[in-house]
Amino acid sequence: MKRLFNVLVAVFVVGAALYFFLNRTDKSEGEAPVLAGAPSAAALLVRGEYLTKAADCIACHTVPGGKGQPFAGGLPFVLPFGTIYSSNITADPETGIGKWSDDDFVRALHDGVRADGKRLYPAFPYTSYTALSRNDVLAIKAYLFSLPKVSQPNREADLGFPFNQRWAMGFWNAAFFKSSRFEADASKPPAWNQGKYLATALGHCAECHTPRNFAFAMDAGNNLAGESIQGWRAYNITSDAKNGIGAWSDAEIASYLTTGHAEGRSSASGPMGEAVEHSLQYLKPEDASALVSYLRTVPAKAGKNPIEVDAKAPWAVAASAAAPAANTAEGHEQGLRLFAAACASCHQWNGQGQQSTNASLLGTRGVNDPDGSNVTQMILQGVKMRVRDQEVYMPAFGKAYTDTEVAALANYVIAQFGNKQGTVTPEFVAKQRAR
């Protein structure tokens, strides 16, 4: 019995030592590339505001639609194992982070540990923010602390056992996370390093665009090859010419990032629309160009469920702006009627769009995706964002149409403008509604 006890004690000691060894943190401060919008000589709050926007903090920490106060948290993230709610990051001392020290804030972003010592879930992208320099992290903190305080209690995560055991995140971190700062590649131009810092640390593009493994950790071997998140497809943005953005021009990529639209390529909506509205549109042209230069070099990957874009879908090309192509009606009678009633006046029958270029459909990946995730979500939720003093708007039809009608409309749009056979079902639409 004593021998068994000694063995158990030894196992516990070794296990604990291994646990803390694998969760050791990098105490280096790191030297971040100097961004055009946040020069080192700028005032602290000026730098902090630019960096906070580049990091898109407001998108996750604010309930949209005027239902929540800026940075007060409460936005739900529905995950395979439960729901997590973003936290209040205003300087309110009781419900926010007003009592956090500089070291507390840095530890949260670098190591995923709260001021009370409890571990954060990686829905908060500390796995990307860990690469931020300490100076940039503290500039963000200074800006957040300059904003109005909001008293709003945080909502506890709705997770079942064992996912509700925050301490167990230590094992996840040991397997899938490394606390480390950004290291510039001396063999690359300064602009490339600036772009990589923007994409990997501040903008944390991989958090949405990279596939997840069985443990919900990012699959580094398929970096930026596309993933489905919150009911939307975050598309492949590797340099793959067929399935990614390798065939896009620099101007097209920059336009999409900073305005949410690239002619003949895509119009942003959903989470990407939020990223454009709250973050990317504010990048200085030099920083946007740097981001493009880095994305150009991301290794090409086909990704899962690749989308082949038919930029010259015969049905749409054959149609005039004012009349449908008759040969798309077969099997899509209901969808055609719905499109005629609610969509054609803005999108036009040839998909070129009217009044706003954002309404163009031809050549976009959404209408070329038989799965129809993004087309369905756009029908259900609509689009509403403000970019460069322009209101981009599409009404939501979720309350007006049944699941069967939404499925019919989505499949018609995919056939008409993508030359594909859509697979959207009423059951799928119901799931999309629930996200």
* Residues placed in the known binding site for heme c: 57, 60-61, 205, 208-209, 343, 346-347
Phi, psi of 214 (to 5 degrees): -60, -25
| Torsion, Cα of 126, 132, 134, 139 (10° steps) | -100
Angle between helices 134-145 and 44-54 (to 10 degrees): 100
Number of residues that this document lists for the chain: 435
Closest CA to 286 of 31, 37, 32: 37
Mapped onto helix, strand or coil, the DSSP state of residue 151 is coil
| Residue 208 CA from chain centroid, whole number | 4
Which residue reads 């880095």 in tokens?
Answer: 294
Cα–Cα distance measured from residue 271 to residue 379, given in angstroms and rounded to the nearest whole number: 15
Residue 60 amino acid letter: C
- Tell me whether the omega of the peptide bond preceding residue 64 falls within 30 degrees of 0, making it cis: no
Asked if 202 contacts 51 with a C-beta cutoff of 8 angstroms, the reply is: yes
How far is 2 from 182, CA to CA, in rounded Å?
Answer: 50
Q: In the 8-state DSSP scheme, what is residue 348?
A: -
Could you list the residues known to form a binding site, using ranges. 57, 60-61, 205, 208-209, 343, 346-347
C-alpha to C-alpha distance for 238 and 223, rounded to whole angstroms: 8
Query: Which token pair is 202?
Result: 């501040």
**Left if phi > 0, otherwise alpha if psi is -120 to 50, otherwise beta: which for 230?**
left
